[in-house]
């Protein structure tokens, strides 16, 4: 484990971001291909293909392809006509970014593909992705919006109550 630094975190150069993005993309692309190929080959050789396995495998492959393609699109660097780096693209290794959630989706789907070799009930793990998306949407958009709306409706009542309470205290003090 790397030692913790005090103070401000150092910034990365554009070339370093491009190189790290290439390595990250390669790792997650290989994870997706390896798990998909492993699931297909082992099912063909040992278990046979059922309708559920084919349908869910196809859905999982679509998820993996879309996630890897999205990460590739996000991290695409822009070069000038002379070959100079203009924009490094988004940093895939940034903490708290959308790429972190896409990487989690690839890990979940790859794990589900491999666990589905043990039992078809492991396909239900794919339901964790939309549940997580709803939870994030709830925490960052829906719940703050509801709280803000309720607070705006209740503020005048609370202010009037506080005003009356303050007036009563002032009367007692005289």
Please give the pLDDT value at position 150.
Answer: 66
State pTM to two decimals: 0.73
What 3-state class would DSSP assign to 85?
strand
Q: Indicate whether 6 pLDDT > 70.
A: no
Question: Angle of helix 98-115 relative to helix 14-42, nearest 10 degrees?
Answer: 20
> pLDDT (tens digit, 9 = 90+) per residue, 96-142?
788 888 999 999 999 999 998 888 889 999 999 899 888 888 888 88
Q: Indicate whether 3 pLDDT > 50.
A: no
Burial-class residue 72 by CB neighbours within 10 Å (0-12, 13-18, 19+).
Answer: middle
């Amino acid at each position: 484990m790397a030692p913790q630094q005090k103070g401000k975190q150092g910034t990365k150069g554009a070339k370093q971001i491009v190189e790290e993005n290439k390595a990250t993309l390669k790792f997650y692309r290989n994870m997706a291909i390896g798990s998909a190929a492993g699931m297909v080959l082992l099912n063909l050789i040992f278990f046979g293909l059922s309708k559920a396995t084919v349908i869910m495998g196809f859905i999982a492959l679509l998820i993996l392809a879309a996630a890897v393609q999205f990460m590739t699109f996000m991290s695409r660097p822009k070069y000038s006509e002379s070959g100079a780096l203009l924009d490094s693209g988004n940093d895939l290794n940034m903490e708290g970014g959308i790429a972190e959630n896409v990487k989690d989706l690839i890990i979940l789907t790859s794990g589900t593909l491999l666990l589905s070799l043990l039992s078809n009930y492991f396909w239900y793990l794919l339901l964790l992705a939309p549940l997580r998306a709803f939870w994030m949407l709830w925490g960052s958009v829906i719940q703050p919006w509801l709280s803000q709306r309720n607070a705006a409706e209740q503020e005048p009542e609370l202010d009037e109550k506080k005003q009356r309470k303050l007036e009563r205290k002032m009367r007692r003090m005289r």
